[in-house]
Homo-oligomer: A and B are copies of this chain.
Amino acid sequence: MTMNLSLTDIQQTFRDCGLKSTPQRTAIYQALVHSTAHPTAENLFTQVSPAYPMLSLNTVYYTLGVLRKAGLVQEVNVGHDRARFDANLSPHHHVICLGCHAILDVMDPRLNRLSSPLGIPKDFEITSHQVAFRGYCGTCRRSRSSMTTSPSGKRPAIQ
């Protein structure tokens, strides 16, 4: 989330990347830029839909693909379930709640400079790294401590 990015800023960004500026694309990217929740495609669809009732989930996927190829969006590779998206491009890390699958940003510059890993093949070229901290958020921690015989765990909504 690069602070409040106005509609015209976004359109300029698209122009800079050689991307056509359509209302749907703009709305989807704007929703993502203004979120820190690392929403899923469907989250974005749900959020943008009211303003564009004809919007297709398909378009959300297509748009995210385009934005990813343009380098404006990254997939947060955490869990193998549904994809989570992030418009925060600065190098950063994540804390993941094992209960509700919330993902929080960790902007800790100390983590950006880890020693390169020992014991991997010499010809392996590392281009980036990311630290994933896992645990339980306050909400999930409280629900677990009560019901010891947890039915299946509460899930505070994403986004």
**Interface residues, chain A, with chain B CB atoms under 8 Å away:** 75, 77-84, 93, 95, 97-98, 104, 106-108, 110-111, 114-121, 123-138, 141
Give 17 new A-B contacts, CB below 8 A, not counting A97-B124, A123-B141, A127-B134: A77-B78, A77-B132, A80-B83, A93-B117, A95-B126, A98-B127, A106-B120, A114-B131, A117-B133, A123-B137, A124-B135, A124-B141, A125-B136, A126-B135, A127-B136, A128-B135, A131-B132
User: Measured between C-beta atoms, what is the minimum distance from A144 to chain B in Å?
Assistant: 10
Tell me, in angstroms, the Cα distance from A78 to B83 when the chains sit together: 11
Contact A141 B114 (CB under 8 A): no
7 A-B pairs within 8 Å (CB atoms) are namely A77-B78, A80-B81, A121-B138, A123-B138, A124-B138, A125-B136, A130-B132
